[in-house]
Amino acid sequence: MAAMSFCHVSLRSPELSSVTSNHRTSAAFPSTTRSFSVSAAALPETSSAPSEQPVIELEFLGPKSGDAVNRAKAISGEKLLRDIMLDNKIELYAIYGKLMNCGGGGSCGTCIVEIIDGKDLLNERTNTELRYLKKKPDSWRLACQTIVGNKENSGKVVVQRLPQRK
């Protein structure tokens, strides 16, 4: 059942003053208080059963074999790989990229990752990726151009961070 709320509001007239040729005149109005209540109509209760949205599980491998594996989850089709990595504080950029990245605009090529598994759960390479990655393996992607999922699929994607350091 929806809650109803009531509030008490006081209205007071402000003091009025005016300046007329070096003389100041004030007109004070008596203070009055008026009360009224405001009520909200009760809204019908709706079913709060959450609709299941497909989830993509992501696993991020470090550039060296002994590096820790980071994990994250994302709702399918809602975020770019770059945003997921930054939101989860997963290292994306090499030193140069940390200083000189374009902020996700697809104009620098510093957010390169390699998709080890789950390539079919991502969008196709964009024209920007085709331009920046034309001499790179097909498994390499720009994180700022890679949409994780398509709002209908779910599964697991394994991402190699900083593949150029492997």
| pLDDT tens readout for residues 65-87 | 889 999 999 999 999 999 999 99
Give the model's pLDDT for residue 71.
98
pLDDT, one tens digit per residue, over 101-112 is: 999 999 999 999
Contacts of 48 (CB under 8 A, 6+ apart): none
Find the radius of gyration of the CA atoms of the chain.
29
pLDDT, one tens digit per residue, over 124-135 is: 999 999 999 999
Q: How far is CA 81 from CA 50, 108, 165, in A?
A: 25, 16, 19
Residue 52 binned pLDDT confidence (cut-offs 50, 70, 90): confident
Share of the chain above pLDDT 70, in %: 69
| In the chain, domain spans | 55-165
The superfamily CATH assigns to domain 55-165 is Beta-grasp domain (3.10.20.30)
